Amino acid sequence: MPRAKLRTPELRDRLLRSAIETLVSDGVAGFTTRRVAESADTSVPAVYELFGDKAGLVREIFFEGFRRLGAQLEQVPSSADPHAALMAAMAVFRRFVRANPVLVEVMFSRPIADFDPGPAELAAGATVRTNVTERVQRCLDTGDLDGDATDLGHIIIALAQGLARQEVAGWLGPDQESIDRRWALAFERLLR
């Protein structure tokens, strides 16, 4: 008698964790549904039944990355100093990129050809952009910045992402002092 298929939320979560771990350990080149299934101690058909295909699995990794980053940004407390609150959010963004470089690659790049983000995926980043844009708006309201909050929010996220990815790759400087100085200089100049 064939064994019963158990496609539970717990299995789905385990597969998602295994998929992220597989990306981290094996990179994009080693990321296969077979490897993910083996890592989660299940079958390839289970992956397809729960996620549709490899692109569906990558799509969930994409969403999970934005859920994690959004949750961390939500934990940044508001401050009487809007500039300090914005910089605190960028510090969280920096730590997230440094701690999750492969996940960030899926979120902000297109390293896996099977996955092409559509409108729903692009909207997933909206919570991150909204969090940053609201902080920018508070800086605009107090006169600390001038310009359009949406434009500045996109620029600030792009700057933080670029700096953090350069830092992860070892290209931002030879030591922590240089790296921190360049982060501070970039944001000081942008927010002046």
Tens of pLDDT, residues 86-96: 999 999 999 99
pTM: 0.86
Angstrom distance (rounded) from CA 145 to CA 134: 13
Say if residues 93 and 73 touch (Cβ distance below 8 Å). yes
- Which residue has 């990306």 as its token pair? 23
Asked if residue 47 has pLDDT above 60, the reply is: yes
What's the pLDDT score for residue 49? Answer: 93
- Domains of the chain, earliest start first: 1-52 (1.10.10.60), 60-191 (1.10.357.10)
Angstrom distance (rounded) from CA 192 to CA 82: 14
What's the pLDDT score for residue 5? Answer: 60
Return the DSSP state at 37.
H
Angstrom distance (rounded) from CA 7 to CA 20: 19
Nearest to 100 by CA among 73, 68, 124: 68
Q: How confident is the model at residue 115 (pLDDT cuts 50, 70, 90)?
A: confident
Nearest to 97 by CA among 68, 125, 118, 76: 68
Average confidence score pLDDT of the chain = 90
- Report the amino acid identity of residue 124: A
Q: How confident is the model at residue 72 (pLDDT cuts 50, 70, 90)?
A: very high
How many Å separate Cα 57 from the centre of its chain? 16
Region 127-136: what's the mean pLDDT?
Answer: 93
**φ, ψ dihedrals at 140, nearest 5°:** -65, -40
- Report the amino acid identity of residue 159: L
Say if residues 90 and 158 touch (Cβ distance below 8 Å). no
Nearest to 131 by CA among 70, 82, 80, 88: 70
Ordered alpha helix ranges (H), the chain: 9-26, 33-39, 44-51, 54-74, 82-99, 101-108, 119-124, 126-141, 149-169, 176-191
